[in-house]
Amino acid sequence: MQMVESLEKNMDTPLCRAFLDPSGQVKSLDFTVSRLGILDWDFFVAVGPDALKWLASESLDVPVFYAMVLEPDRIIGQSDRFCGVTFNLFTAHRIERIKQIFPKLTRLAVIHNPENNRIYKDVLAQFSKVSGVSAVPVTVSSQTGISRALQTAAAQADAIYFIPDHTVISPAIVKYIIENGISRGIPSIGYNRFFLESGAILSLSVDYEAVGRQVAQMVTRFREEGTCENMEPEANILYNENVGKLLKMEVQKQFLNR
């Protein structure tokens, strides 16, 4: 909702909100939505993967923009009918920033379950684009393997790099990994404020209001110039000074600025 409100605030063109209910039907409190057909709009903005899937299934001749979707290519392929701001923070650009902030980190452990993690291979490819730092794959098949995974991470890596993974990412497991990592002298790096509050030394957190502005600018530019390029989301860099001091980390604070 922060992203949507920011999008509306930064657009000169009036927007109508519509939602998908649990059955997949379009609902809206705006009477304009019920009066217009699917082909009567100037453009659509899909917020989240369900909205993008729905719009991708329709035969549309108008532009479709998207936001808050982690893996848009899994939904739309390489289609040039869509343009947007991904929800993906796990890119070479972000990994390079982490390396700049912590120059002595050279090996980042990525704890994941290969059976159900779809983005790990892409994350690995992003690491290959950054010099001076590499990913250390640490696999788990269930939550019972987390303790062993931590031992591996502590022995082979300088830090733990969290990515979305159903086996690893639950509040209790995240806290357990971060706290046990600290006890072994291994910091953790997350991707929202919860990780920071749980003791991660660094977290890259999507700036939802900024994403709204990004999409608004993208739509405006396309309508004026007819051009559009997909973008990464704007993000805040959240640094945990207490953990940095506790682990005596070398930090290049000039790179903490956005």
Q: How far apart are CA 105 and CA 109, in angstroms?
A: 11
What is the tally of structural domains in the chain? Answer: 2
In this prediction, residue 29 carries a pLDDT of 80
- Axis-axis angle for helices 92-101, 120-127 (nearest 10): 60
Average pLDDT, the chain: 92
One domain for residues 25 and 125: no
Provide the residue range defining the domain that includes 190: 92-201+240-256
Res. 156: pLDDT tops 60? yes
In this prediction, residue 28 carries a pLDDT of 81
In this prediction, residue 129 carries a pLDDT of 96
Q: How far apart are CA 126 and CA 239, in angstroms?
A: 22
Mean pLDDT of 236-257: 94
One domain for residues 71 and 106: no
Binned at pLDDT 50, 70 and 90, residue 164 comes out as very high
User: Does residue 6 or residue 36 have the better pLDDT?
Assistant: 6
CB 215 within 8 A of CB 191: no
Q: How far apart are CA 215 and CA 26, in angstroms?
A: 22
One domain for residues 47 and 83: yes
One domain for residues 83 and 97: no
Local structure of residue 231 (DSSP, 8 states): B
One domain for residues 125 and 248: yes
CB 173 within 8 A of CB 198: no
Binned at pLDDT 50, 70 and 90, residue 258 comes out as low
One domain for residues 60 and 101: no
Q: Which two tokens stand for residue 58?
A: 């329709």
CB 199 within 8 A of CB 188: yes
Q: Which two tokens stand for residue 57?
A: 């299934």
Helix (H, G, I), strand (E, B) or coil at 109: strand
In this prediction, residue 5 carries a pLDDT of 96
In this prediction, residue 192 carries a pLDDT of 93
**Of 127, 128, 181, residue with least CA distance to 158:** 181
Lowest mean pLDDT among 37-41, 76-80, 222-226: 37-41
One domain for residues 123 and 248: yes
Task: Determine how many CB atoms are found less than 10 A away from the CB of residue 125.
Answer: 11
Mean pLDDT of 199-221: 96
The CATH number assigned to the domain holding 128 equals 3.40.50.2300
Question: Which residues, listed in sequence order, are joined to residue 205 by a DSSP beta bridge?
Answer: 236
The CATH number assigned to the domain holding 17 equals 3.40.50
Question: Which residues, listed in sequence order, are joined to residue 134 by a DSSP beta bridge?
Answer: 107
In this prediction, residue 32 carries a pLDDT of 77
One domain for residues 97 and 153: yes
What are the E-state strand segments in the chain?
A: 19-20, 26-27, 44-47, 64-69, 82-86, 107-112, 134-139, 159-161, 188-190, 202-206, 235-239
Res. 216: pLDDT tops 70? yes
Binned at pLDDT 50, 70 and 90, residue 40 comes out as confident
One domain for residues 61 and 143: no
One domain for residues 177 and 101: yes
One domain for residues 33 and 110: no
Binned at pLDDT 50, 70 and 90, residue 42 comes out as confident
One domain for residues 48 and 62: yes
pLDDT digits (tens, 9 = 90+) for 70-124: 989 999 987 778 999 999 999 999 999 999 999 999 999 999 999 889 899 999 9
Helix (H, G, I), strand (E, B) or coil at 64: strand
**Of 120, 76, 67, residue with least CA distance to 232:** 67
Parallel, antiparallel, or unpaired for β 134-139 and 82-86?
Answer: unpaired
